[in-house]
Amino acid sequence: MHEGKPAVDEAARPAPAADATLGRSARKRAAILAAARTVFLRKGYDGTSMDEVAALAAVSKQTVYKHFADKERLFTAIVTGDISATEALTADMVAALGGSDDVPADLRRFARRHIVEVTQPHLIRLRRIIIAEAERFPELARTWYASGPERAHALLAEQLDALARRGLLRVADPLLAAQHLNWLILSIPLNRAMFLGADTALPPGERDRCADEAVRVFLAAYGPAAADDPASR
C-alpha cells in the first residue's frame, strides 16, 4: 500500500516549501491514525466510520481518503503499526535473559513485566478485534499471530537455549520450553482480561504472585535440579 507516501523523486531534494508541506501531510496522517486507533478500539471494526475518524482527527473526510483509500486499509495500518511495536517490545524484554547470572530472579522480573505489557488495555482491545475479524481479515490475524506469540516464543527459546548451554536450565526442546513458560505466565491474567474486559487487570500483588508462581513451576520442570528428580523423567 502506498497511501500517505509522498510522491517525491528520491534523487531530487524538495524545496523548503515542499518540505513544510510534507511535514503537514505526515502530521495529518499521524493524527488520522491516532484517531482511528481510538475509534476502532472503542467501537470495533463495524462500528467505526470514516466520518467519525475525520472529526476526531480534525481533518476533512477527503483528507482521510487521501491517505487511506478505505476503512480496511486504515484498519490494516493500525494493526501493522501495533505489530511493529509489539515485536520491538518483545525483543527488548527477552534480550538479556540468556546472559543471566541469577536465573530465578531474572525470570521473575521478566514474568512480571511480561504480564504488565501484554495485558495493556489497548492491546487487549486490539487482540479482541483481531479475533472477531479473523474471518474477514485472515492474513492480518496470521500476521499478528506470527509477529506476536510465535515471535515471542522463538526469541524466548533462543535465550532458554543459551541458559541450557551454560548448565543453568535443563531444556531438551527450547521452543516447547518457551511456550510452557509463556503460558504459565500469561494464562491467568490474559484470559481474565480477554473474557472480563481490558480494565479488569489483576491487582499488582496478585499479578506478581501469578508471575512468581509461574517461574517456580517452570523451574521445577526445567531447572538443573529437576534432572535429579525421578518424577521429572
Assigned superfamily of 16-67: Homeodomain-like (1.10.10.60)
Instruction: Give 79-232's CATH code, choosing from 2.60.120.10, 1.10.357.10, 3.40.1190.20, 3.30.530.20.
Output: 1.10.357.10
The 10s digit of each residue's pLDDT in 91-105 is 888 988 999 999 999
64, amino acid identity: V
Distance CA 103, CA 25 (A): 48
**How many CB atoms within 10 Å of residue 205?**
8
The 10s digit of each residue's pLDDT in 148-201 is 889 999 999 999 999 999 999 999 999 999 999 999 999 999 999 999 987 888
Q: Among 212, 211, 218, 210, which residue's Cα sits nearest to residue 164?
A: 218
Count, residues in the chain = 233
